[in-house]
Chain A
Amino acid sequence: MTELTAPNVVASSTRSDRRRKFLQNLLRGERPYMLYIAFVILLVVFSLSSPWFLSLDNFLNIGRQTTLVSIIAVGMTFVIIARQIDLSVASTLALSGMAAALAMNQINNSWIVGAVAGLGTGALVGLLNGVLTTELSIPSFLVTLGSLSMARGLAMMVTNTKPVIITNESYFAIFGEGTFLGIPVPIAWTLVATIVGILLLHYNVFGRRIYAVGGNPTAALYSGINTKWVTTAAFVLTGALAGLAALVLSARSHAARPDVVQGMELDVIAAVILGGCSLFGGRGYILGTLFGSLIIGTLNNGLVLLGVSSPMQLVIKGAIIVAAVAFTKR
């Protein structure tokens, strides 16, 4: 070895060092505090201005309303960190819901069939998005713009735009109306998706590869990472989570409708970006995404409670999103 001394190297990590590192790991990112502070400010403002805001019921309400965005945003975090985008999630949700309801009604009204059909359809759309993006090297913006339209069209074609009624009681209980350890199941599913997301992204090999592919695809390839496979997997995950969101939505409304949640992909992307992901890839974390979703959900809820007219709500929401991103970006 060279005889040169190794300067400035942190030899051993002290206790405070480790604590600092732990905090950093927990929060993942350069300036995540802004996000939490923004969330708290939002809570305080709404609590002070509306007597109905500060209650457990209302918070559960927010949680339930945020479910769909929060669940899909977990997958979108992977996609965006990998330097891609998925515009098709809302349409995928609609198509997956239709598939779940129709399959259940066809095959012995079993909730398992419904769940498999819903998740499978979502994953399949994700697979298609991923394969087209990586194998034909079409930008994912265009691929998913196409599948946004196609999935929505298919969802409407299968029943000629009519909703499909669901009658399975256990399906309702598991995905929409029951509770698990006292938590309403939609919120429980959000937590499951978030925890799985954290494990996958921050503790699993897959997460490391996602960061590398998004941070520098060429260096990732040169380091022996199958970048196509990794990118495709992120799309499949997002599609499957859109399928899960479809199960939750259809179980709550006792029916699958082909025209639901149009334009929700924008809320999902906004949540992920608010949560600190870089649109240029390589940077982001799941907990941030959860808070991003909560901020959007809280905004929707609080503005309604304040009696703000719905056109005005749109304006305020848009302005706050842009302002927040301007603040939190590097």
Chain B
Amino acid sequence: MSGPVAAEPPPPTSLVMVNGISKRFGGVRALRDVNLEVRAGEVHALLGENGAGKSTLIKILSGVHTLDSGAIEIAGKPVAFDSPANSRDAGIAVVYQDLSLVESLSVADNLLLGREPRMRFGFVRKRELMAQAKAFLAELGIPLDTKVTVGSLPFAYRQMTEIAKALLGEVRLLILDEPTSSLTSDEVRILFDAIGKVTRRGVGVIYVTHRLNEVFEISQRVTVLRDGANAGTFVTAETDMKRLVNAIVGTDRLAPAASRAEPAAMRSFDSSPILSLSGVSNDRLHAVDLSVLKGEIHGLAGLIGSGRTEILETVFGLRPLESGACAIAGRRWLPKSPADAIDQGVALVPEDRHVQGLVLDHSIERNLTLSRIAYFSRWGWMQQRAAARRAEAAIVKLAVKAQGASSLVRTLSGGNQQKVVFGKWNDPRPRLLLLDEPTVGVDVGAREEIYGVIRNAVRDGTGVLLVSSDLAELIELCDRISVIVNGRVARTLMRGEIDDAEELHHLLQMYQASGQGVLQELPA
């Protein structure tokens, strides 16, 4: 598959040379002798698990951190940054995951924020501002309407605005930090087109991501970091997925992961349903019929907005069930609130761990206890010792990498934060576990560990309802997969009926296209 960029071979001039840089934070060696070369017009992917040193490297390039030893050259000239402004002057621009746009202002206002064309007394020349912004976007070839407010744009277009903003002025190196982590596949396509346009102007791009398939689609070369050191640089066209994963995880850890992939089909499970929904409807769902058996992993496949998350929300009491019936372990039950659902033994690992799953400024122990407060109290008083013991146990059991139970959750990496969200429901074991995108933004190693946690849960008889956009993940984990289109179950597949993600992908597209769904319209 040839991406929009691969068609144009990059000129082999070296734009940025990072030579043997090291960085230490207290006792931790975040970077050890790291080398990186980015050529003009090249998309250079940067891979590695959370904590491998990607962020540190980016922060050094963007002038947030200073380096301890080593050197950086731009176009052959040595540079040293002691502030972000410094790095910006040298032509390096960074687009972070969380965007820095003012949602209530228009695209043009955002682009030229702080450098608006002015009249006397600071009045803005509105027409000139629009014209400048329009001309700049046209030059980049980015199809954005300058008059639209940023808040009303789909995420990909906001990201494009951000990229355009970063490119204003003299930019030679653009750094994108996980730009696709919250995009739909259509939006990813739009973003890739924009990146292609940027590289054609001779700008070098460092592309940080967890999604390996994107690496093959967009990058010319890949550098992998592991434990703060180089774990290999590859020409993308000459390598494959397996070698990259090897470099990221390290060969020693890959073997057990493979052996753990015991076929779920071989497990026999009780045929009594933990959850059964019949004709469940509300504002987003239409007569959903669904069941989850004891010890079963039931997957929900569908596009964003298809109603898959809404099914979980309805069962968890976050969304009113207007008609139809819901039963837990054979007993009829109407979910009224999350507290009610938890009482019934239902647990939810929500989609957005930062917003819905965790209190970032509180300790691991506090977060783990949050969902089980009543369980750890007697006559209303906290059993602090018991809560602390359970937290320590959960940290060991889930292999959370942290100083201890009193570490703030904010200081953990994405994968470890997600393990804490799982830990909230670890003990006592829930009867039904609802998972919404459990491995988004989680590195390869932690992902395997989370799969282990899920498999462990079903082995003990928990039923799992799993929503995921990662079709390979559904295929690997699920006993049954239901395809959700427009708030309906379009089809339920047994394990063995479908073998690979490619096939599932086609099936999804087919149901979507067959009039049962309306694809999201994007403004041009």
Contacts and interface: CB of A to CB of B under 8 A. Distances in A.
Q: Do A and B bind each other?
A: yes
Contacts of B348: 222
B452 A1 contact: yes
Interface stretch (A111-119, A189-197, A223-231, A307-315): A223-231
B382 A282 contact: no
Contacts of B289: none
Interface in B340-378: 341-343, 348, 350, 355-362, 366, 369-371, 373-374, 377
Contact of B350 (A203, A206, A208, A222): A222
Interface in A205-227: 205-209, 211-212, 215-216, 218-226
Interface string A75-104: 000000000000000000000000000000
B29 to A, nearest CB: 15
A10 B362 contact: no
A140 to B, nearest CB: 20
Contacts of B449: 2, 4
Interface string B441-453: 0000000110011
B434 to A, nearest CB: 11
A209 B373 contact: yes
B339 interface: yes
A19 B404 CA distance: 16
B452 A223 contact: no
Interface residues of B, number: 50
B373 A2 contact: no
Contacts of B370: 208, 212, 219-220, 223, 225
Contacts of A1: 397, 452, 456
Contacts of B405: 10
A204 interface: yes
Contacts of B339: 224-226
B334 interface: no
A7 interface: yes
A82 to B, nearest CB: 13
Contacts of A219: 355-359, 370
B373 A205 contact: yes
A242 to B, nearest CB: 24
Contacts of B356: 218-219, 222
A212 B409 CA distance: 13
B53 interface: no
Nearest to B253: A4
A9 B404 CA distance: 6
A107 interface: no
Contacts of A215: 359-362
B402 A8 contact: yes
A172 B343 CA distance: 49
Nearest to A25: B384
Contact of B338 (A205, A209, A216, A221): A221
A287 B342 CA distance: 34
Nearest to A281: B361
A9 B392 contact: yes
Contacts of A220: 359, 370
A6 interface: yes
Contact of B366 (A7, A208, A218): A208
Contacts of B350: 222
A122 to B, nearest CB: 22
A3 B370 CA distance: 27
Interface string B30-51: 0000000000000000000000
Given A215-B359, A224-B371, 18 more contacts: A2-B260, A4-B449, A7-B399, A7-B401, A9-B392, A9-B400, A203-B381, A203-B384, A208-B366, A209-B373, A211-B359, A211-B366, A215-B361, A218-B355, A222-B338, A223-B338, A223-B424, A225-B373
13 contacts: A2-B260, A8-B402, A8-B403, A9-B395, A9-B396, A203-B382, A205-B381, A212-B366, A216-B355, A222-B316, A222-B338, A226-B337, A282-B359
Interface of B: 253, 256, 260, 316, 318, 337-339, 341-343, 348, 350, 355-362, 366, 369-371, 373-374, 377, 380-382, 384, 392, 395-397, 399-406, 424, 448-449, 452-453, 456
Interface of A: 1-10, 21, 24, 203-209, 211-212, 215-216, 218-226, 282-283
